[in-house]
């Protein structure tokens, strides 16, 4: 039998098969390599994103961390000044801002200048006209190096030390030293020895005072025109005056041996305004803090207290001197209080050999330490605030380095109520800068956190109903062809820059709301009524007519009625305002409810911020509603439920995890929004829930304060701390939201099975 003919012309040979297998193997290897590269790239990108976020957070925390670093005060050196003679022992010490020289004024009426490095005496000058008199009391002003020297014969020399830098090229090589005698006056007509003196000069006006005898105070001052005047004041006859200090605010305080401090106003004729019971012990030290509005009183028990004038309570129109701070005791009698000329920190020295460093505003004790030698009643904080000098009774000068870059920052100052100068009680206040160098920074974060929460809540109240119900309506009721136009339009709204929304809200919407405020609020009543009326009218249309129309056509009945409802609300606004509020709603708010109406208020912010948040919530919610299995909706309709019942009772609960996620994403957007709240509100950090005033959020505060924050300063670091707080708020909220979303998801998944 013949073999069948087989045409093997097109059959692959073994060689061809092998070549194809090799080629396929190479291709597979390249695919695997590409897959590994793609996988590595994706992993690297994900890790890089996570690392970048963590790196930003670490950087923020690192910049904020120095706010809470421990203060460091260290002994730098100890030198000996003067001689063993009592007359040559210093009564006053001072230094220049570069810490090159230290000067003293001693009882022998000599001003001496020493090298700050080794204590070597460089220069000695006898005060002009003091050849036959001893200096029995002297003082130095905290700023300006103004020196008052009271003599044993009732005279007073007013002087000023000046240090002027001398340059060669652009390098400072030395300081030129100058002692200027400003005036010499006979302060006490009875020629008694001065027991304590004080002198300040402000804008050319001199003010000096001295204690003579048991309770006599003599005051000297000059006017803007150069005129001179003398005044004699007295404390209670059964008291002995111990300390006297004048301030740039034209005020005078005198401490006594029974612990009281007398306060005179010298702006015109001397007027006794307060007698403060500062202590049960004799007042042994007295100083004005920076600005001359707060004084510190140290007593024989080692305690120091702080006082300033304020209203005793909110209802009082009169002010009184109030005791607002008490600081821990030092060992022994308080012999010296040295105040900083840059901030509200001060040094207290006790004759028991201890010292403590405090910051007044937050009441913080920064450091306490034991002195190596018993001190005299002389201490000084250098002009730059980085060095403290304490003079011992034997002429030993102790020089301490101060490393406290942010004394005004503490957990108490940032998160608790603080009793600020001039306030009637402790409050949360943010006010970082002022008009002068004596301004007291107020850095509480609580008003900013409150403002962030307040603005976000009002925005979400406006946005959630509109976005969620709009998404539910679009996904369940609107015809697909209409939905195809609505959803992209809303999504495009999310691309509108927030600065544009803020600009429109601040310059266009806010004035309109202010003009038609009653009509705007009437809309919240008439618009729901108009919409409900439209729904009822739609249901009353003939069934045959409604069945011939597309699904979702009811909007053409409801929308005109909504527009009409808004128009009617604006028209009725003036009439309702005249009838209920005597034609002045804003005046009625102030007089009746005690509320203030600001043009750029929280209502405007809520609307503007809500408009920015609505597209995000709408889009995610609509996707969640559309993802509900059609079998669930079909089953509900088959069981006799209406479309609205199906939407509310089946679709909404099933999609609730997605809706909740949408709300949380919108919440995160609202919390971090900057430009809208910056432009649409007054940026006032007030803590009121009123919808008619403004607020300041953490993000807006960062944007506002950046130009005022010098690099490395306290405000600079507090702004970074604000960023960390904002990060923590969003992280906590998102974490809780994710936990709740997962629970909702498991719950309704179990119900749908």
Beta bridge partners of 262: 254, 275
Q: What is the pTM of this model?
A: 0.85
Task: Determine contact, residues 366/407, Cβ cutoff 8 Å.
Answer: yes
Residues 6+ apart with CB under 8 A from 457: none
Query: Taking Cα atoms as reference points, which of 236, 58, 171, 109 lies closest to residue 727?
Result: 58
Cα distance between residue 311 and residue 429, in whole Å? 17
* Count of beta carbons in the 10 Å neighbourhood of residue 93: 21
Q: Could you give the percent of the chain with pLDDT greater than 90?
A: 36
At 232, the pLDDT band (50, 70, 90 cuts) reads very high
Q: Give pLDDT, residue 749.
A: 62
Specify the pLDDT at position 546.
Answer: 64
216-222 vs 205-212, strand pairing mode:
antiparallel
Domains, the chain, in order of start with CATH, read: 89-342 (2.130.10.10), 446-752 (1.10.3720.10)
- Whole-number pLDDT of residue 586: 85
pLDDT digits (tens, 9 = 90+) for 633-679: 888 888 888 788 888 888 888 888 888 888 988 888 888 888 888 88
pLDDT at 272 over 90: yes
Give yes or no for a contact between 583 and 573, defined as CB atoms under 8 angstroms apart: no
- Give which of 464, 389, 452 is closest to 733, Cα–Cα: 452
Residue 650 has a pLDDT of 87
As a whole number of angstroms, the longest Cα–Cα distance in the chain is 160
pLDDT over 60 (residue 9): no
Q: Cα–Cα distance between 362 and 674 in angstroms, integer?
A: 30
Other Cβ atoms closer than 10 A to 77:
13
79 — pLDDT class (breaks 50, 70, 90)? confident
Task: State yes or no: pLDDT of 491 exceeds 70.
Answer: yes
Fill in the DSSP letter of residue 688.
Answer: -
Residue 530 pLDDT greater than 60, yes or no: yes
* pLDDT classification of 251: cutoffs 50, 70, 90: very high
The pLDDT of residue 33 is 83
Return all residues near 151 (Cβ < 8 A) that are at least 6 apart: 109, 130, 133, 134, 135, 136, 157, 193, 194
Alpha-carbon 459 to chain mean position:
24
> Which residues are paired to 389 by β-bridges?
380, 399
Average pLDDT value for residue range 141-148: 90
Q: Which of 367, 476, 365 is nearest to 412 (CA)?
A: 365
Residue spans of alpha helices (H) in 582-713: 585-588, 602-626, 630-638, 643-646, 652-654, 656-672, 675-680, 698-705
> Region 138-165: what's the mean pLDDT?
91
Chain mean pLDDT for the chain: 86
Six-digit token string for 443: 């850095």
């Amino acid at each position: 039998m013949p073999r069948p003919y087989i045409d093997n012309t097109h059959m692959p040979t073994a060689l061809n098969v092998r070549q194809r297998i090799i080629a396929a193997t190479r291709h597979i290897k390249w695919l695997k390599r590409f897959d590994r590269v793609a996988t590595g790239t994706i992993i690297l990108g994900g890790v890089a994103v996570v690392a970048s976020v963590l790196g930003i957070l670490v950087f923020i925390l690192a910049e904020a961390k120095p706010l809470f670093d421990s203060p460091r005060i260290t002994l730098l050196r100890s030198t000996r000044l003067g001689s063993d003679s009592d007359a040559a022992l210093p009564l006053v010490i001072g230094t220049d801002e570069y810490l090159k020289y230290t000067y003293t004024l001693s009882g022998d009426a000599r001003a001496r200048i020493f090298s700050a490095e080794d204590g070597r005496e460089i220069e000695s000058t006898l005060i002009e006209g003091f050849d036959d008199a001893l200096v029995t009391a002297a003082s130095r002003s905290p700023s300006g190096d103004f020196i008052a020297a009271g003599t044993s014969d009732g005279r007073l020399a007013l002087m000023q030390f000046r240090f002027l830098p001398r340059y060669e090229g652009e390098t400072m090589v030395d300081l030129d030293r100058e002692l200027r005698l400003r005036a010499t006056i006979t302060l006490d007509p009875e020629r008694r020895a001065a027991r304590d003196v004080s002198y300040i000069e402000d804008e050319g006006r001199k003010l000096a005072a001295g204690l003579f005898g048991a309770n006599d105070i003599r005051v000297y001052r000059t006017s803007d025109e150069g005129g001179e005047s003398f005044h004699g004041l007295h404390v209670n006859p059964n008291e002995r005056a111990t300390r006297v200090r004048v301030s740039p605010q034209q005020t005078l305080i005198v401490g006594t041996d029974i612990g009281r401090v007398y306060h005179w106003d010298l702006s015109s004729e001397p007027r006794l305004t307060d007698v403060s019971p500062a202590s049960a012990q004799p007042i042994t030290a007295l100083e004005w803090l920076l600005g001359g509005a707060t004084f510190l009183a140290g007593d024989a028990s080692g305690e120091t207290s702080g006082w300033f004038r304020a209203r005793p309570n909110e209802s009082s129109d009169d002010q009184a001197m109030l005791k607002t701070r008490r600081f821990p005791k030092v060992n022994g009698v308080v012999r010296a209080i040295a105040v900083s000329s840059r901030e509200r920190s001060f040094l207290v020295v006790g004759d028991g050999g201890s010292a403590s460093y405090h910051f007044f505003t937050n009441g913080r004790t920064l450091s306490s330490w034991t002195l190596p030698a018993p001190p005299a009643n002389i201490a000084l904080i250098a002009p730059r605030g980085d060095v403290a000098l304490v003079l011992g009774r034997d002429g030993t000068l102790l020089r301490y380095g101060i490393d406290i870059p942010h004394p005004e920052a503490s957990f108490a100052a940032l998160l608790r109520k603080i009793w600020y100068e001039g306030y009637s009680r402790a409050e949360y206040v943010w006010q970082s800068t002022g008009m002068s160098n004596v301004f007291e920074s107020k850095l509480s974060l609580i008003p900013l956190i409150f403002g962030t929460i307040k603005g976000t809540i009002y925005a979400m109240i406006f946005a959630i109903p509109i976005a969620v119900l709009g998404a539910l309506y679009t996904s369940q009721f609107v015809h697909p062809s209409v939905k195809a136009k609505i959803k992209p339009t809303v999504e495009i709204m999310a691309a509108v820059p927030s600065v544009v929304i803020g600009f429109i809200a601040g310059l266009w919407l806010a004035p309109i709301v202010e003009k038609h405020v009653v009509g705007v609020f009437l809309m919240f009543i008439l618009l729901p009524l108009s919409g409900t009326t439209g729904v009822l009218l739609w249901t009353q249309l003939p069934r045959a007519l409604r069945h011939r129309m597309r699904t979702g056509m009811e909007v053409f009945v409801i929308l005109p009625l909504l527009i009409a409802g808004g128009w009617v609300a604006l028209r009725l606004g003036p009439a309702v305002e005249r009838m209920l509020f005597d034609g002045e709603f804003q005046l009625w708010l102030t007089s009746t409810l005690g509320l203030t109406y600001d043009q750029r208020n929280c209502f405007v912010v809520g609307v503007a911020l809500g408009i920015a948040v609505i597209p995000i919530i709408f889009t995610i919610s609509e996707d969640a509603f559309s993802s509900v299995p059609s079998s669930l909706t079909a089953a509900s309709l088959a069981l006799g439920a209406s479309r609205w019942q199906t939407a509310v009772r089946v679709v909404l609960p099933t999609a609730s995890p997605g809706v909740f996620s949408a709300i949380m994403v919108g919440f995160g957007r609202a919390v971090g929004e900057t430009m809208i709240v910056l432009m649409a509100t007054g940026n006032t950090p007030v803590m009121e829930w009123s919808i008619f005033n403004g607020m300041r959020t953490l993000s807006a505060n960062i944007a506002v304060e950046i130009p005022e924050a010098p690099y490395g300063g306290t405000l600079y670091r507090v702004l970074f701390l604000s960023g960390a707080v904002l990060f923590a708020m969003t992280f906590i909220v998102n974490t809780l939201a994710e936990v709740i979303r997962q629970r909702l998801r498991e719950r309704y998944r179990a119900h749908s099975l």
